[in-house]
Amino acid sequence: MDRFQNRFQNRTVAAQQLADQLEDLRELKPVVLGIPRGAMPMAKIIADRLEADLDLVLVKKIGHPQHPEFALGSVTENGDVILGSGALQNGMIEEDLAEQAAKIATRLREMRAHYTNGRPAVPLRGRDVIVVDDGIATGATMLAAIEFLRRAQVRQIVVATPVASPQAVQRLEDEGVEVRALLTPEEFGAVSYYYDNFAQVSDAEVGGFFRVSPREIEVFEDGVKLNATLGLPMKPRGLVVFAHGSGHGRQSPKNQYIAEAFNRQGFATLLVDLMTPEEADDDLNRFEIGLLAHRLRACLAWARKDPRLADIPLALYGTHTGTAAALMVAAQPGHRIDALVSRSGRPDLVTEVLPQLRVPVLFLVGAKDRAVLHLHEESFIQMHGERQLHPIPEAGAFIDTDLQMEEIVRESLRWVERHLLSPARDRRHAEPVSSFVSELHAGGPA
């Protein structure tokens, strides 16, 4: 704020001051929700300060057909309608409301998908929630957000804003909500009045808070530089390490497509080339499975040194000879690997380790690639842990149609989410290996 203590330089400064007032909530591990678009940069700053989950909450007012500026109520993104007390007495009938509400809810869901790039919403049930807005004049929008959160069965709601009218604060407190406002001027003007710079926030800026921007990294092992690509969403749900037995597999459009799908679902991804481009020029090097496995272990050690990746669930995703290296690493104790996915891999290259393997494995292979499918069937029989062989219909040695890739992504996500996020994960690391049995092919886990 400036020397008169009644204005903020911009949203960033206001958010920093607001975060100071919310530090006592850090231990609750709250979810910070911003109301797009203006509040999202502020919510991001507060979430970063509190090391909290970030998401958005979408509500929109229902306008009167003849007087759109007159709000009859609000609609949430899940279609809930919160009406004002006089909605039906102001020329609206239930059918009109239902039709308008359905259109608004559809639009809100489209907005969420656009802003978050398809990332699922943060689960709210039982969580403490901080709802951020850049200013509250009447409180109508915030009341709708509060009703939405109560229906989501959150534990506690705290409304945080740099400036609010006393009347709005009273309305919210009457609803049993705690309000933390830095300014509550008696003569409340437009929200923009309380900022020296109140520039509009763009859709692109909001989307940037949720979009994962992969970055190139280097992992050194025994003097060799391994190239890798790290995709790191906020508060990752797990880590998926892609093992490629070539010098450029991480740049494959297919691998990047699958990794982006994992990123959208909140998983960090590390795409690793286990060979240098020079080594990959000699095809025989790709079959040095022991060397590839050694380098994959080095990449896992590198990832686990990052505090953001140190303690989260871990899956391996192998392609071609990278699958053999991943299986070899997964068969060894001490890595706490929760799942493994193989796409068009070569498990037949490490048959000696297959009976030892206790990590749940999904094999994806073209149904028409008879030779490779047979190799998978033979390998499958030698395994004793949980596993599934999923042939991709109509696919041969190359899985490249859009429908086939969609099935690859769908099955990969299903397997990883099942084994990384389920309560059974902790039991799997604690129980004897004999408890994990799966049947062949379609008889395996659904």
Asked whether residue 6 is assigned to any structural domain, the reply reads: no
Whether residue 50 is found in the same domain as residue 168: yes
Residue 88 token pair: 């039906």
The pLDDT of residue 441? 35
Whether residue 130 is found in the same domain as residue 260: no
Asked whether residue 220 is assigned to any structural domain, the reply reads: yes
The pLDDT of residue 81? 76
Range of the domain at 90: 11-208
Whether residue 254 is found in the same domain as residue 168: no
The pLDDT of residue 4? 41
Asked whether residue 278 is assigned to any structural domain, the reply reads: yes
Alpha helices in 226-333 (DSSP H): 253-264, 277-280, 289-304, 321-330
Q: 81-83 and 71-76: which strand pairing?
A: antiparallel
Q: Which residues of 411-432 are buried (b: 16+ CB within 10 A; e: fewer)?
A: bbbebbbbbbeeeebeebeeee
* Sheet strand arrangement including 215-221: 215-221, 224-231, 268-273, 239-244, 314-320, 339-345, 361-366, 387-392
Whether residue 178 is found in the same domain as residue 239: no
Whether the CA torsion 36, 40, 41, 42 is positive or negative: it is positive
Whether residue 40 is found in the same domain as residue 143: yes
The pLDDT of residue 296? 96
Whether residue 163 is found in the same domain as residue 293: no
Asked whether residue 77 is assigned to any structural domain, the reply reads: yes
Whether residue 294 is found in the same domain as residue 415: yes
Asked whether residue 409 is assigned to any structural domain, the reply reads: yes
Whether residue 167 is found in the same domain as residue 251: no
Whether residue 189 is found in the same domain as residue 223: no
What's the longest Cα–Cα distance across the chain?
80
Whether residue 275 is found in the same domain as residue 186: no
Domain boundary among 161, 181, 208: 208
Whether residue 153 is found in the same domain as residue 71: yes
Domain boundary among 183, 208, 233: 208
Asked whether residue 355 is assigned to any structural domain, the reply reads: yes
Cα gap 395→153, rounded to integer Å: 45
Asked whether residue 5 is assigned to any structural domain, the reply reads: no
pTM: 0.66
The total domain count for the chain is 2
CATH of the domain at 19: 3.40.50.2020
Asked whether residue 138 is assigned to any structural domain, the reply reads: yes
The pLDDT of residue 120? 81
Residue 11 token pair: 């949203």
Domain boundary among 208, 223, 252: 208
Q: How would you write the pLDDT of the chain (446 residues) with one tens digit per residue? A: 443 458 899 999 999 999 999 999 999 999 999 999 999 999 999 998 998 999 999 988 776 666 655 667 778 888 777 766 555 545 555 666 777 788 888 899 899 988 987 778 889 999 999 999 999 998 888 988 998 999 999 999 999 999 999 999 999 999 999 999 999 999 998 999 999 999 999 998 898 888 787 899 999 988 899 999 999 987 899 999 999 877 667 888 899 999 999 998 889 999 999 988 888 777 777 789 999 999 999 999 999 999 989 999 999 999 999 999 999 999 998 778 999 999 999 999 999 999 999 999 999 999 988 888 999 999 999 999 899 999 999 888 777 788 899 999 999 999 999 999 876 665 555 543 333 223 333 333 32
Phi then psi for 307, rounded to 5 degrees?
-55, -30
Whether residue 42 is found in the same domain as residue 123: yes
CATH of the domain at 357: 3.40.50.1820
Q: Which helix (H) or strand (E) holds 401?
A: none
Tell me which residue has tokens 């299903």. Answer: 414
